[in-house]
Chains A and B, each alone.
Chain A
Amino acid sequence: MSTILQLTDATIKFGGLTAVNKVSFNLQKGDLFGLIGPNGAGKTTCFNLITGVYKPTSGSIVFNGKEISGTPSNKIASLGICRTFQNIRLFPALSVLENVVVGAYLRHKTGLGSALAYLPSAIAETEALRAEAFALLQVVDLDDVAHVRSADLPYGKQRRLEIARAMATQPSLLLLDEPAAGMNPQEKDDLARVVRRIRDEFEKTVLLIEHDMRFVMGLCERIVVLDHGEEIAQGPPEAIRSNPKVIEAYLGEAV
């Protein structure tokens, strides 16, 4: 197994607030990794650091042997890290299919000029990207609503669409920020199946944030726990479940 992502003492301060404080963890290729912690623990901020939304105040983030802290978001996406957002950020006026094509567009080869002149090469590429996007919609079971405005989708489907859109960039590392939030138990089970399939069949490494303990514990093989920006535990689900620090952080909530 080789290391795909390595955080070493990653820290970010917003004014006086240290949102993430010396967090370190390693992801191996093919991991299904969980990132948990109470509200405001700094989980989403970790994602923002990894995807280049913020530059860490100190510490390093190495992806496939390359230091990526401070690299702009779009470059990081083309290196092979893509994410979903906690507060869904689709392109509302675009159709479901178009949302996914935006992700796939990362791999376009024909230039803007050939598109403006509507040359056969650009048309063919458009067709190819759309076909690719449609295939991904089938994976997340959204192919029947491909031409609906994405803003008109129900909540659960919007979350699945975000996953498809991120998958379209063909990342080697997929970051999911609370993918099951707002879903009913049935939808959560379906989602867990999709995530597992993404890892097994598409051979992605997955790092996911989730509050639903049953979901995380059932799905992830390794978990890191944050509280107040600090890493308080790391290990397999069984060890996390019985860790006194974790129980304390969640104030006796059943873990």
Chain B
Amino acid sequence: MFYLKRFGWVILAILLCVGFESVVTSGKNFDYVYRMCVLAGLYVTLAVSLNLINGITGQFSIGHAAFYQVGAYITGFFAATGYKGFASNSLVQQLSHIGVNATWTVQGLWLVMMVLAGAAGAAVAGFVVGLPSLRLKGDYLAIVTLGFGEIIRIVCQNQPALGGAYGMKIEPRINSMWFVWLLAILCIAVCRNLLKTAHGLPFLAVREDEVASSAMGVDVTKVKVTAFVIGAAFAGAAGALLGHFEGFVSPPMFKMEVSFMVLTMVVLGGTGSITGSTVGALLLFGIPEWLRQIEDSHHNPILVSAGSVLGFAIMLVAAVAYVRHLIHHFHGEKKAKTQRIVGTFAAALVAQFFLGMLLNLVPALRDKSWPYADLRWAIFAVTLIVLMLLRPQGMFAHHEFSVARFFKRPKEAAA
């Protein structure tokens, strides 16, 4: 009965992913959307797997792109040396009659193997990086993991066998959106299962207090290394899918920015919360992409003048400062507090409009203007700063999203 139910869930997940893919591909000019959906799925996997290391086990690791890269380069290496042999292998040839069509089956089998290989390779890397975490804490561990990420990237960049700075071509290119999302779901499910069973508690305990954990019989060493290995394996699997989707791998795809982006997704969502990491990943990946597309009805980029930008910045700073004051010093009812916070932002929004008009009277500010799309990273950064100032514990804090929590009054939810 249990296995039947489980089988049902797995089938449902696969159907969902395949359905999602066919919805996306049914639109016209779906190339861009398809690409975005694949990358979003990969980022969800990265964020949720980093959350296992950072949020759940409390090991401040910031070199997650390294594991992503290890997975991608391993598939790159295998694809260059082994794909032809694999496709012409007699067993594979026989199996290829099973599926929709021969190429589909052969590529699917290959992809599964590559995902496993990428995961295994990255798991080994995770084990190696996990070891220093036994002696290092906090900032020191962060530096080591960051250094490890850079070392991996620079070594690849200087290895002619791995394509050097140019990178490697990966044949065949495989569009595997449903597979990407299946991996993301698997990653989420694994983390959720861990937290649902007693086996997740030692991980949380290590985050909370290492000395007390080991006094209670928790093997701190094993827990930390396990977290690194599992987290890295998922990142490696994601890397393998990325490689086959792009058709090539190159060192700049795994720059420090990628690590920081993934880390920001986790922190923004609320370290330790799986739902938080997922939503964080979708938002942080989605916002800059969405900003890139803002244009008017004639497909011209919308311009903003320096005066408006300045006016907006000033009012935003003022609003944030006042809301922070409210958060810390307003001791009234929760409802009144929320009303005031919302009111502050509404007032600031109106004020920035007039302030912008006023500032635009200055010729130097009026004549300078930029398209929105160019400001997107600035807008992105400001959004992050505001969020972190107002809610340093992240959107979801340590909690998971649940319908019950959503409908409960705050007091009950806390209990």
Residues of A in contact (CB 8 Å), total 44
CB pair B204 A74 closer than 8 Å: no
Binary flags per residue of A100-140, CB closer than 8 Å to B gives 1, else 0: 01111110101010011110101101100110000000000
Interface of A is mostly: helix
Binary flags per residue of A192-218, CB closer than 8 Å to B gives 1, else 0: 000000000000000000000000000
CB pair B209 A78 closer than 8 Å: no
User: Which residues, 145 to 200 on B, are CB-close (under 8 Å) to A?
Assistant: 189-190, 193-194, 196-200
Assuming the contacts A91-B204, A116-B190, A129-B198, asked whether A82 and B216 have C-beta atoms less than 8 A apart, the reply is yes
The CA-CA distance from A101 to B195 in the complex, in Å, is 13
Q: Of B204, B215, B216, B226, which is within 8 A of A112 by CB? A: B226
CB pair A93 B204 closer than 8 Å: yes
CB pair B202 A51 closer than 8 Å: no
Residues of B in contact (CB 8 Å), total 33
CB pair B198 A103 closer than 8 Å: no
B398, CB-defined interface residue at 8 Å: yes
B100, CB-defined interface residue at 8 Å: no
B214, CB-defined interface residue at 8 Å: yes
The residue in chain A whose Cβ has the minimal distance to the Cβ of B209 is: A89
The residue in chain B whose Cβ has the minimal distance to the Cβ of A92 is: B208
A35, CB-defined interface residue at 8 Å: no
B217 contact set on A, CB distance < 8 A: 74, 77-78, 82, 103, 105-106, 169
B211 contact set on A, CB distance < 8 A: 53, 73, 85, 89
CB pair A74 B209 closer than 8 Å: no
Q: A61 to nearest B CB, angstroms?
A: 16
Q: B404 to nearest A CB, angstroms?
A: 13
The CA-CA distance from A82 to B214 in the complex, in Å, is 10
B198 contact set on A, CB distance < 8 A: 101, 104-105, 108, 115, 122, 125-126, 129-130
CB pair A102 B200 closer than 8 Å: no
B201, CB-defined interface residue at 8 Å: yes
A89 contact set on B, CB distance < 8 A: 209, 211-212, 215
CB pair A116 B226 closer than 8 Å: no
The residue in chain A whose Cβ has the minimal distance to the Cβ of B201 is: A102
A244, CB-defined interface residue at 8 Å: no
User: Which residues, 16 to 58 on A, are CB-close (under 8 Å) to B?
Assistant: 51, 53
The CA-CA distance from A17 to B202 in the complex, in Å, is 35
B386 contact set on A, CB distance < 8 A: none
Q: B191 to nearest A CB, angstroms?
A: 9
A98, CB-defined interface residue at 8 Å: yes
User: Which residues, 49 to 83 on A, are CB-close (under 8 Å) to B?
Assistant: 51, 53, 72-74, 77-78, 82-83
A90, CB-defined interface residue at 8 Å: yes
B219, CB-defined interface residue at 8 Å: yes
The residue in chain B whose Cβ has the minimal distance to the Cβ of A108 is: B198
Q: A184 to nearest B CB, angstroms?
A: 25
A255, CB-defined interface residue at 8 Å: no
Q: B38 to nearest A CB, angstroms?
A: 25
Interface of B is mostly: helix
The CA-CA distance from A61 to B27 in the complex, in Å, is 74
The CA-CA distance from A183 to B217 in the complex, in Å, is 28
B305, CB-defined interface residue at 8 Å: no
A147, CB-defined interface residue at 8 Å: yes
B201 contact set on A, CB distance < 8 A: 94, 98, 101-102, 105
A165, CB-defined interface residue at 8 Å: yes
CB pair B216 A169 closer than 8 Å: yes
The CA-CA distance from A94 to B205 in the complex, in Å, is 8
A148, CB-defined interface residue at 8 Å: yes
B91 contact set on A, CB distance < 8 A: none
A104 contact set on B, CB distance < 8 A: 198
A129 contact set on B, CB distance < 8 A: 198
CB pair B218 A102 closer than 8 Å: yes
Binary flags per residue of B90-125, CB closer than 8 Å to A gives 1, else 0: 000000000000000000000000000000000000
CB pair B204 A165 closer than 8 Å: no
B220, CB-defined interface residue at 8 Å: yes
Q: Beyond A74-B220, A102-B218, A106-B217: 18 further Cβ-contacts under 8 Å?
A: A89-B211, A89-B215, A91-B205, A94-B204, A98-B204, A102-B205, A103-B216, A103-B217, A105-B218, A106-B218, A115-B198, A115-B200, A116-B190, A116-B194, A120-B2, A166-B216, A168-B216, A169-B216
Top-10 shortest CB links A-B = A77-B217, A115-B199, A91-B208, A106-B217, A73-B214, A89-B212, A118-B193, A115-B197, A126-B198, A74-B214
Could you list 22 A-B pairs, sorted by A, with CB under 8 Å?
A73-B211, A73-B214, A74-B218, A77-B216, A78-B217, A89-B211, A89-B215, A90-B209, A91-B204, A92-B208, A94-B208, A103-B216, A115-B193, A115-B197, A115-B198, A116-B199, A117-B193, A118-B193, A125-B197, A126-B197, A130-B198, A147-B415
